[in-house]
Amino acid sequence: MSFVEGLRCRECARAYPAEALHVCDFCFGPLEAVYDYERIAASVTRESIAAGPHTIWRYAALLPADGRAPVDLGAGFTPLVRADRLAAELGLGELWIKNDTVNPTGSFKDRVVSVALTKAQELGFKVAACASTGNLANAVGAHAAHAGMKSFVFIPHDLEAGKVVMTAIYGGNVIAVNGNYDDVNRLCAELASEQPTWAFVNVNVRPYYAEGSKTLAFEVAEQLGWQTPDHVIVPIASGSQLTKVHKGFQELHKVGLLDDEPHVRISGAQAIGCSPVATAFKEGTDVVRPVKPDTIAKSLAIGNPADGPYAVEAARQTGGVIEAVSDGEVVEGIKLLARTEGIFAETAGGVTIATLVRLANAGIVHRDERVVAMITGHGLKTIEAVAPTSKPTATIAPTLDAFAEVLFQIEGN
């Protein structure tokens, strides 16, 4: 059952019913789910969670949907991998990778979509829709197919080939828009008014959708034996994931699942070609000025990030920072993670690792901290970024002599 009491405006605190609403009628602020934490505390224990499914739905009590009949392809409960070899390269101590590349459609978006479409079905919607930079498109296409819902997925026209194919394959409607993500998002924000019978996962059901990202924090804490890390590095597109990871750790303490109040530094990662949140952080303001994105990290290329001000606030409050890295660093970050830990991340993961490298070099991530880096999407989705520099070591004739020659070149002697 759901413990949601309703929705509340994060800006002016006006209350709304738990329906398909995302914006305060009065001040346009974002609406957020409000829970009865006392009842949740009385109903969940570490043991009851451990006995639950190996998906995000083990935390159903802390999610804004009933959860008895979830739209579930198995999102979540992904591995938390100890990354000693990467830590050694960066001069860090205890480092973990939250490997969200292994979700059903290869990114953390399966978490948020599973929650969004579960709630959408509870509200009676038959059509799923979204504005997407690609990963969300994949997740909506797949989950809508699994739930037997019609889907309309809106994407920028210039997405990576893998992300387009991996959306279209599920048989829904894929609409490529001549514009960037912000154009697509604006179109969908307007369309949501014209198509009120469609559940736009990141527009009219956004308050439910966004809550799915809390499960990243829940899992990290549970996988660390119900302890929290000291520092988490999270990629920033809209800023929603970062703010919800912060909220997730706080909630675990509120409902009695953590012994101590968490003090987790939350740091954010952006690409320089689209870094409005990092810029606001560095300038000491919470006014996030929109930009026109130009980066290979297309899944993070939101020039007008809805939760940007809240991401800045979370980083500041927790003693984290928000850093931006170049596209060259992104490619190096992808390769570094793959080479040291055997995990192939998409460009957003490259942004996260490159940011971790910068913060480690600057002494902002400390050697004595327990650090978790959120790797939120699979490298096969953005193969274009590394294809030019990831090729066979050699191409040879099928003869022993040919291989001997190559081996000599590789290893000498």
Partner 1 sequence: MPVTVRIPTQLRTLTGGSGEVSVVGSTVGEVLKGLDAAHPGFGERLFADDGSLRRFVNVFVADEDVRFLQGLETPVPDSQTVSIVPAVAGG
Phi and psi for 13 in degrees, rounded to 5? 70, 10
Binding residues with partner 1: total (CB under 8 A)? 41
Among 65, 203, 272, 337, binds partner 1 (CB under 8 A): 203
In 3D space, the residue among 114, 75, 308, 303 whose CA is nearest the CA of residue 201 turns out to be: 114
Among 83, 92, 302, 386, binds partner 1 (CB under 8 A): 302
Determine, following the binding rule CB under 8 A, whether residue 304 of this chain makes contact with partner 1.
yes
Determine, following the binding rule CB under 8 A, whether residue 14 of this chain makes contact with partner 1.
no
Among 152, 181, 208, 281, binds partner 1 (CB under 8 A): 181
Among 11, 66, 89, 405, binds partner 1 (CB under 8 A): 11
**Residue 279 and residue 255: Cα distance in Å, rounded?**
35
Q: Candidates 79-87, 287-295, 312-320, 322-330 — which segment interacts with partner 1 by CB under 8 A?
A: 287-295
Measured from the CB atom, is 228 or 304 closer to partner 1?
304
Q: Which stretch of DSSP H or E encloses residue 150?
A: strand 150-156
> Which residues in 336-395 contact partner 1 (CB under 8 A)?
none
Determine, following the binding rule CB under 8 A, whether residue 239 of this chain makes contact with partner 1.
yes
Burial of 78 (0-12, 13-18, 19+ CB in 10 A): buried
135-147 and 109-122 are packed helices; what angle lies between their axes, rounded to 10 degrees? 40
Q: Where are the alpha helices (DSSP H) in 195-271?
A: 206-211, 214-223, 240-254
Among 4, 7, 23, 278, binds partner 1 (CB under 8 A): 23
Measured from the CB atom, is 215 or 340 closer to partner 1?
215
Report, in Å, the least distance between residue 193 CB and partner 1.
Answer: 4
Determine, following the binding rule CB under 8 A, whether residue 188 of this chain makes contact with partner 1.
yes
Among 105, 240, 279, 352, binds partner 1 (CB under 8 A): 240
Interacting residues of 35 by C-beta distance below 8 A, sequence separation 6+? 3, 4, 5, 62, 64, 251
Interacting residues of 92 by C-beta distance below 8 A, sequence separation 6+? 86, 360, 365, 367, 369, 371
**Residue 336 and residue 360: Cα distance in Å, rounded?**
14
For residue 119 the two structure tokens come to: 């709630």
Determine, following the binding rule CB under 8 A, whether residue 287 of this chain makes contact with partner 1.
yes
Report, in Å, the least distance between residue 210 CB and partner 1.
Answer: 8
Burial of 98 (0-12, 13-18, 19+ CB in 10 A): buried
Report, in Å, the least distance between residue 23 CB and partner 1.
Answer: 4
Q: Candidates 42-50, 195-203, 352-360, 362-370 — which segment interacts with partner 1 by CB under 8 A?
A: 195-203
Binding site for partner 1 (CB under 8 A): 11, 22-30, 131, 181-183, 185-186, 188-190, 192-194, 196, 200, 202-203, 206, 237-240, 287, 289-290, 292, 302, 304-307, 309
